[in-house]
Amino acid sequence: MADIEPDVITAIDNAVTTEFPEATVGGEYIWQLESLPYVYVLETENEDYRQLMDQDGSKYSAVTYDIRIYSNKAYGKKSECKAIANVVNDVMHRLGFTRYMQLPIAYEEDASIYQLLLRFMGIVDENKTIYRRR
């Protein structure tokens, strides 16, 4: 099993905070969002890629990342989330992932916060090379 989550979070953090210095990027869910915009990166799936398994086991993992972007700007929170999503999308594509979804989601804890969910998938080998197939 390849653990690339720290590398993915670092790549997203570097790109997002360069474009949006006030943003915070992390890999943990924060119940009370105090510093926005916030980009939450979560590896939701990391399983053996069975199509390439041999008698020695799996050298490839199928991975899925959910990335949630939050903003509470008085005006333009949707635009801010979409602009950050464009940066995240560029980073994930450069890394080798394919985006499968971009969806606004109601943030039930606080209706003044806009939330955008992106989902990316890819195949990663034991050397941390990422492939777009899935």
Structure tokens at 101: 């979804």
Domains and CATH numbers, the chain: 5-131 (3.30.2000.10)
Structure tokens at 2: 């390849």
Q: pLDDT over 70 for what percent of the chain?
A: 90
Give Rg (Cα) of the chain: 16
- Per residue in 66-110, pLDDT (tens digit) is 999 999 998 999 999 999 999 999 999 999 999 999 999 987 878
DSSP-derived secondary structure for 8-57: HHHHHHHHHHHH-TT-EEESS--SS--SSSEEEEEEEEEEE-GGG-BTTB
Confidence at 112, pLDDT banded by 50, 70, 90: confident
From residue 128, how far is each of 48, 95, 108, 124 by CA, in Å?
14, 10, 36, 6
- Per residue in 11-59, pLDDT (tens digit) is 999 999 999 999 999 998 876 667 799 999 999 998 887 666 566 666 8
- Per residue in 59-73, pLDDT (tens digit) is 888 999 999 999 999
